[in-house]
Amino acid sequence: MFRVQVIHGPNLNMLGLREPGIYGSQTLATIEAMLAEQSGLLGADLAFFQSNSEGALVDCIQACYGRQDGILINPGAYTHTSVAIRDAIAAVGLPTVEVHLSNIHKRESFRHHSYIAAVAVGQICGFGPDSYRLGLHGLVQHLKSLRQGLGDA
């Protein structure tokens, strides 16, 4: 069983209300329910966290050290601004997958750069809520390959 921390950044608590033309009509609760269903099939135990505060997100990432095997994160707008979140991910050294509901590379130019991408295993964007599902699958597959490489599987 892999322990995965799912982290949602700012404004994701407003999904379903916030710009449905960009982010869709599903709520954060429905996305988390879908992930919880997937986790059973993948052998992953998920913990969920959402905050609009950069410091709370950093605290959550740091708390993962020694407790979680990987991180699935949608840093929201902090993707493009937060060196602190990037540094927290680098500090804990856990495999991390960055996800976004929209394709950040097809949006405003300021959204094209991600501080997180350089310290992430991978980035998935543009598939709506499926970005989370695809990210979870990719992260668990990566964790399995690491475990097999260490001879633990």
- The single residue listed with the structure tokens 């094209």 is 112
The pLDDT value given to residue 96: 98
The sign one gets for the Cα dihedral 30, 37, 100, 61 is positive
Q: Catalytic residue, from 8, 23, 78, 115: name it.
A: 23
User: Structural domain tally of the chain?
Assistant: 1
Q: Is the pLDDT of residue 73 over 60?
A: yes
Output 23 or 66, whichever has higher pLDDT.
Answer: 66
Average pLDDT over residues 17-46: 86
Q: Distance between CA 88 and CA 41 in Å, rounded?
A: 29
23 belongs to the catalytic site:
yes
> Catalytic site residue 100?
yes
* Residue 123 confidence (pLDDT) above 70: yes
> Which position among 78, 100, 115, 142 bears the catalytic label?
100
Full domain range(s) for residue 23: 2-149
pTM: 0.90
CATH of the domain at 43: 3.40.50.9100
